[in-house]
Amino acid sequence: MASQNERLAESLIQLKKLQESHILVVSSGELTRTHQERLVANGFLQEIMKGWYVISRPEDRGDTSSFYVSYWDFINKYLYSRFKESWTLSPEQSLLLYSGNKVIPDQLIVRSPLGGNNKQNLIYDKSIFVLRTSLPMMIYKEKEHGLNIYSIHEALVMCSPSFFQNSPIEAKVCLSMIDNSRDIIKILLSNGYSSRAGKVAGALLAVGKEDFAKEIVQTMKDSGYRTKVENPFNTSIEPIHQIERSPYISRIKFMWKQMRETVVKEFPNEDSKKIKTPDQILKSIEENYKLDAYHSLSIEGYKVSDELIERVRSGQWDIEQKEDHNTRDALAARGYYLAFLEVKSSIEKILHGTDPGQTVAKDYENWYKALFTPSVEAGILKNYDLIGYRTNQVYIKGSLHTPLSPDAVRDVMPIFFSLIEQENNPAVRAVLGHFFLTYIHPHIDGNGRMARFLMNSMLTTGGHDWIIIPVEKRNEYIKGLEEASVRNDISTFTKFVSSTLHQQNQQAIFIQATNHQDFKEIMALRASGFRPSADLIKSMEKNGILPEAAKIAISKIFGLDDKSISPSDIKLAQSNYMKRDNNKSMEL
């Protein structure tokens, strides 16, 4: 009698056959019930809905990634199994896909004459709603997943006016792709859509395509229809001046323009600026390396220690040593240091007069090569793997956002760098530079580290400090990026960067005030709401600038209300500070 492991192995053989046929989504008819139940029980299949499964890994139980990666393949396969070709995604969803927005919706609207006007619940609070309604005049096949969608012209005619208000960037991208009015006019006349004609004409007029709008109105009038032109955006829209070869180019440009206004508003540009010489800036960057490397690598899931970081920086690194050769974390730490040196070199060039955007665009590839040089030396990667951008589709674990396709990446990266070059606000260059690099995700690996390097190169050359994103704030950090990617809302991420930089500045002031026994400054910090974290106090103790007596005094000051602090408390704190060794300083 076969053992449990042997039976599981038999089921895995059947699953492997499906995978070899590039099947990621499995319906109940593709595996026997026995194999299906066994694979589900052991975590190799995840149920999407009754009778439908996605291939997964046991260690990823409860993780959304497998489902999100396979979502559109599931939609296509499921809908075809129910309706054959007699279905299409809604006009609004069609326009989102045309514009390059592949965010997984909470509820997908599908149209089919065979539909039942019912909702089908899926895992992770997603659902499908199939409307029983007629199909469009023509059904187009979306290229990547083979989804049935509206033509872009009919989708613009049939979509709700609210689409232009809820998704203005996507609407603008789609309108920018319209190069004539004839296809729209045919749809309007063949169905007698006079009110829809006014909506489309108003949208075209709003983005500066006045000739197309006039042609629509005049043709409808000549055919006996009265058309009232209304702007569905309900607000003024900047005209579109050219048709881009890729919708992703238009999308990046429109997003940058919209988001920069938020960054300018939310980022207190002048408050956090500091006047420093180039040498002071470079010295500060070098002093922060150790802490920055720890947090930046930890955010990516690497396990690094102070000892490893210091060994890498001091040159005590030997690729021939088994420990260094085989350790993923050691390779990452060494690569981070080499890339850090390249970034610092670029910053030095900018501080001595070169253009920030042009310098980053020119040096960016050197940063990336340095980041993975140890992996090349270890034989894990080839030199040519580090040239250019990725050639495969990638996905971000747990994210509703799907990064751009490899072809789209090649289209938009030159535009991305040109936007940085044209931007005169260093805070905008920093925040949007970071965001768009992770949004585009041009590399198979290293996108987050490269984005933080880019952000800091723009901050430090714009009068701000190098910002360290604490690993303890990883969830908040990722949430800000996700909201910007999924909802086009950069405010949360901007506020996160700004507040983290402000808190970092306050910590630096606190450390300096502690070193100089400046209780006036310490009390001012307290009045502003600053509280030293337990980690900061621990770090100061470790570095010998906060002896026990002083720690008690600081705890007393920051643990009491203003009204409860007496002159004797301050006097005690000052006297305790005088007992410390004044020659010791803190190194972060």
Binding-site residues sit at 445-452
How many angstroms separate the CA atoms of 529 and 524, rounded? Answer: 9
H/E element, 454: helix 447-460
Question: What is the 3 state secondary structure string of 291-321?
Answer: HHHHHHHHHCCCCCCHHHHHHHHCCCCCCCC
| Active site (annotated) includes residue 145 | no
Q: Contact at 8 Å (CB) between 412 and 252?
A: yes
Closest CA to 456 of 500, 419, 492, 495: 500
Q: What b/e readout covers 93-121, taking b as 16+ CB neighbours within 10 angstroms?
A: bbbbbbbbbbebbeebebbbeebeeeebe
Q: Which two tokens stand for residue 108?
A: 């997908």
- Looking at 441, 443, 502, 516, which residue is catalytic? 441
How many angstroms separate the CA atoms of 53 and 23, rounded? Answer: 11
Each as own residue / partner, the long-range contacts of residues 255-262 (CB below 8 Å, 24 or more positions apart, any chain) are 255/169, 255/436, 255/488, 256/419, 256/432, 256/436, 258/168, 258/169, 258/488, 259/432, 259/435, 259/484, 259/488, 259/490, 260/423, 260/425, 260/428, 260/432, 262/489, 262/490, 262/491, 262/494
| Sequence-ordered list of residues with C-beta below 8 angstroms from that of 458, at least 6 positions apart, any chain | 356, 360, 420, 426, 429, 430, 433
Question: What is the 3 state secondary structure string of 408-440?
Answer: HHHHHHHHHHHHHHHCCCHHHHHHHHHHHHHHH
Q: Residues forming the annotated binding site for ATP?
A: 445-452
Residues with a catalytic annotation lie at 441
